[in-house]
């Protein structure tokens, strides 16, 4: 299996090269040359397999010759052994025809662990094989950074630098990053928004001299292997509810469009997904784009669901590329225009029908809070504000059987949950002394040169 760039200006690479590079050298995102196809029987067969085995089958489809069957199985077994639930991502019913898919049983209580735990296994193997060492730069709206720290801390082959927006993430999120004592992990609190952090990381990659000097790699949701890891739970959950005989819909709380794109991938591979609800908070660039065919950046506003306080959804470029028939010149032109003006219109050819299959739904803050309260009253369960955005979105329509992705444990956002429900969500015992451990943080301005100097200094 080969990977090409959405911008058409980079040579095709294999799975491992796409993994280690993150972003393609022409500034595009890697996508597979073609979509692997799973038969009806193969998909139905997933119903009887443990999560790690399904993950190994899907990983192999995308890795091609880059991994043996044994290597794929070893990586997925090791990755998902760190999860506190036997089913890895269990389904919980909340109403007739409505389920939550709990993606937060990993070490940092959010769905980012599902991909990051596997990514660390794949990096380790690939770097050991090549005798290489890398610097991973990671911009985070809160959860990716913690998941990356937990996955890579102590690694002998990876230096990890995490950038998060100062004061805009929850204390639990921050401590999952800053309380790691290992020297190979360094955290920067940037005076700015998540979009500023993401722009800095993109600029580090764009400076090819610097990128080569520090051997830069990226594990943001642009990293292709993360999308692969996330497509797995669409299969396991849909199959548990009767797919491929029955069509299932998903409601996906969305920021960078990584999780939603993973659903698209599962669909391309043959999983009968009826609809993917693209649920956003009031940072609604995606829901607006899908409703109006205009993709236009707005101001980032601070919400109860900070992991989705994003106005530039990196993975949207992959979806765009697909929808315009993989037209690289149109993709280059459109995203250059978006970079310059913050606005593009989405061509009719790929997008006029989109609202039927990928409806965009923006959920107001009050509705999110009300949904947390109502879910507690109706099910006895506390849900986190990101999950609540997905649940609120699915309640706005009649979709048949539908699964809301539950992307974080409520204890990761205790203030918002307490304010909405009057209940304090307890941290699971497995996170231990998180609040007692000392933090290590460097505060920097949203300035590329300052970040470069910091990255160089710690190597
Ligand atoms: C990252 C994150 C999201 C958004 O996922 P994307 O793949 O960026 O769309 C939603 N909820 C939580 C809790 C997250 O950490």
Which band of pLDDT confidence, cut at 50, 70 and 90, is reported for residue 23? confident
Q: Which residues contact 307 (CB under 8 A, 6 or more apart)?
A: 110, 141, 142, 143, 255, 386, 407, 408
Tokens of 451: 């970040």
The structural domains of the chain, ordered by start, are 91-108+224-421 (3.40.50.1100)
- What's the average model confidence in pLDDT over 378-407? 97
Compute, in angstroms, the gap from residue 256 CA to the centroid of ligand 1: 7
- For 278-287, how does the pLDDT look when each residue is reduced to its tens digit (9 = 90+)? 999 999 999 8
Which band of pLDDT confidence, cut at 50, 70 and 90, is reported for residue 271? very high
Kindly name the residue from 112, 202, 274, 412 that is annotated as catalytic: 112
Out of 386, 406, 410, 417, give the residue to mutate to test ligand 1, the one with the largest number of ligand atoms within 8 Å of its CB.
386
Q: Which residue's CA is the nearest one to ligand 1's atom 7?
A: 258
230 and 258 in contact (C-beta within 8 Å)?
Answer: yes
243 and 38 in contact (C-beta within 8 Å)?
Answer: no
- What's the average model confidence in pLDDT over 385-405? 96
pLDDT reported for residue 303: 94
Q: Which residues contact 134 (CB under 8 A, 6 or more apart)?
A: 20, 123, 127, 157, 158, 159, 215, 216, 217
Q: Which residue's CA is the nearest one to ligand 1's atom 1?
A: 307
Torsion angle of alpha carbons 83, 86, 87, 92, nearest 10°?
-100
d(CA 197, CA 166): 10
pLDDT reported for residue 218: 86
| 348 phi/psi in degrees, rounded to 5 | -50, -40
Atom number of ligand 1 nearest to Cα 141:
1
Out of 113, 253, 265, give the residue to mutate to test ligand 1, the one with the largest number of ligand atoms within 8 Å of its CB.
253
In angstroms, what CA-CA distances link 141 with 27, 187, 195, 342?
Answer: 21, 13, 9, 20
Average pLDDT in the chain:
94
Q: Which residue's CA is the nearest one to ligand 1's atom 8?
A: 256
Alpha helices, DSSP H, located in 194-327 = 194-206, 208-214, 224-240, 258-268, 285-292, 316-323
Atom number of ligand 1 nearest to Cα 412:
13
DSSP 86: T
Compute, in angstroms, the gap from residue 27 CA to the centroid of ligand 1: 22
13 and 30 in contact (C-beta within 8 Å)?
Answer: yes
Map tokens 């299959």 to a residue.
357
Out of 283, 308, 387, give the residue to mutate to test ligand 1, the one with the largest number of ligand atoms within 8 Å of its CB.
308
Q: Which residue's CA is the nearest one to ligand 1's atom 2?
A: 307
DSSP 438: P
Which band of pLDDT confidence, cut at 50, 70 and 90, is reported for residue 122? very high
Compute, in angstroms, the gap from residue 101 CA to the centroid of ligand 1: 14
d(CA 7, CA 297): 21
Compute, in angstroms, the gap from residue 457 CA to the centroid of ligand 1: 31
Compute, in angstroms, the gap from residue 459 CA to the centroid of ligand 1: 30
Which band of pLDDT confidence, cut at 50, 70 and 90, is reported for residue 309? confident
DSSP string, 306-356: GGG--SS-TTHHHHHHHHTTT-HHHHHHHHHHHHHHSEEEPPHHHHTTHHH
Compute, in angstroms, the gap from residue 129 CA to the centroid of ligand 1: 32
Tokens of 48: 């009887």
Q: Judge whether residue 399 has pLDDT over 80.
A: yes
Query: Residues enclosing ligand 1, CB less than 6 A?
Result: 110, 112, 143, 221, 253-260, 307-308, 386, 407-408
136 and 148 in contact (C-beta within 8 Å)?
Answer: yes
Q: Which residue has the higher pLDDT, 106 or 353?
A: 106
Among this protein's residues, is 112 annotated catalytic?
yes
89 and 120 in contact (C-beta within 8 Å)?
Answer: no
Specify which residues 444 forms β-bridges with.
190
DSSP 18: H
Residue 81: CB atoms within 10 A of its CB come to 10
Tokens of 232: 């797995």
Out of 110, 220, 406, give the residue to mutate to test ligand 1, the one with the largest number of ligand atoms within 8 Å of its CB.
110
DSSP 295: E
d(CA 281, CA 101): 19
pLDDT reported for residue 348: 87
pLDDT reported for residue 143: 86
- For 169-223, how does the pLDDT look when each residue is reduced to its tens digit (9 = 90+)? 889 999 999 999 999 999 999 999 988 998 999 899 889 899 999 999 988 878 9
Compute, in angstroms, the gap from residue 131 CA to the centroid of ligand 1: 33
Three-state helix/strand/coil letters over 355-398: HHHCCEEECCHHHHHHHHHHHHHHHCCCCCHHHHHHHHHHHCCC
- For 36-79, how does the pLDDT look when each residue is reduced to its tens digit (9 = 90+)? 999 999 999 999 999 999 999 999 999 999 999 999 999 999 99
Residue 453 CA, chain-centre distance (Å), reads 28
pLDDT reported for residue 194: 86
Specify which residues 121 forms β-bridges with.
none
Which band of pLDDT confidence, cut at 50, 70 and 90, is reported for residue 90? very high
């Amino acid at each position: 299996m080969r990977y090409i760039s959405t911008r058409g200006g980079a040579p095709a690479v294999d799975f491992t090269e796409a993994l280690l590079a993150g972003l393609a050298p022409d500034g595009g995102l890697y996508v597979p040359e073609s979509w692997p196809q799973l038969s009806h029987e193969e998909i139905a067969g997933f119903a009887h397999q443990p999560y790690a085995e399904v993950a190994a089958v899907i990983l192999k489809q995308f890795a091609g010759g880059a991994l043996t069957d044994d290597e794929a199985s070893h990586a997925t077994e090791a990755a998902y052994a760190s999860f506190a639930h036997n089913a890895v991502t269990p389904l919980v019913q909340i109403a007739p025809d409505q389920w939550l898919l709990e993606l937060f049983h990993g070490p940092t209580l959010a769905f980012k662990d599902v991909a990051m735990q596997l990514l660390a296994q794949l990096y380790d193997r690939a770097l050991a094989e090549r005798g290489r060492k890398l610097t991973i730069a990671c911009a985070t709206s809160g959860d990716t950074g913690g998941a990356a720290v937990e996955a890579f801390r102590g690694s002998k082959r990876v230096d990890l630098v995490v950038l998060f927006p100062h004061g805009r993430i929850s204390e639990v999120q921050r401590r999952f990053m800053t309380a790691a004592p290992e020297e190979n992990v360094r955290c920067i609190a940037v005076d700015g928004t998540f979009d500023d952090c993401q722009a800095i990381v993109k600029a580090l990659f764009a400076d090819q001299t610097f990128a080569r000097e520090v051997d830069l790699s990226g594990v943001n949701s642009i990293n292709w292997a993360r999308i692969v890891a996330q497509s797995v739970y669409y299969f396991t959950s849909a199959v548990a509810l009767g797919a491929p005989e029955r069509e299932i819909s998903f409601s996906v709380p969305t920021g960078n469009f990584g999780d939603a794109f993973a659903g698209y991938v599962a669909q391309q591979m043959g999983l009968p997904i009826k609809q993917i609800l693209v649920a956003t908070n009031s940072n609604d660039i995606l829901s607006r784009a899908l409703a109006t065919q205009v993709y236009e950046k707005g101001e980032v506003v601070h919400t109860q669901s900070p992991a989705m306080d994003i106005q530039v959804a990196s993975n949207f470029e992959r979806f765009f590329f697909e929808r315009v028939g993989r037209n690289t010149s149109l993709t280059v032109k459109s995203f250059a225009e978006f970079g310059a003006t913050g606005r593009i219109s989405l061509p009719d050819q790929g997008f006029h029908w989109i609202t039927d299959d990928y409806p965009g739904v923006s959920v107001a803050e009050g509705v999110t809070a009300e949904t947390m309260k109502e879910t507690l009253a109706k099910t006895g369960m506390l849900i986190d504000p990101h999950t609540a955005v997905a649940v609120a979105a699915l309640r706005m329509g009649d979709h048949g059987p539908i699964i809301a992705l539950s992307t974080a444990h409520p204890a990761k956002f205790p203030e918002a949950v307490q304010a909405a429900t009057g209940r304090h969500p307890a941290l699971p015992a497995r996170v231990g002394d998180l609040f007692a451990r000392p933090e290590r943080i460097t505060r920097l301005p949203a300035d590329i040169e300052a970040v470069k100097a910091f990255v160089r200094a710690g190597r």
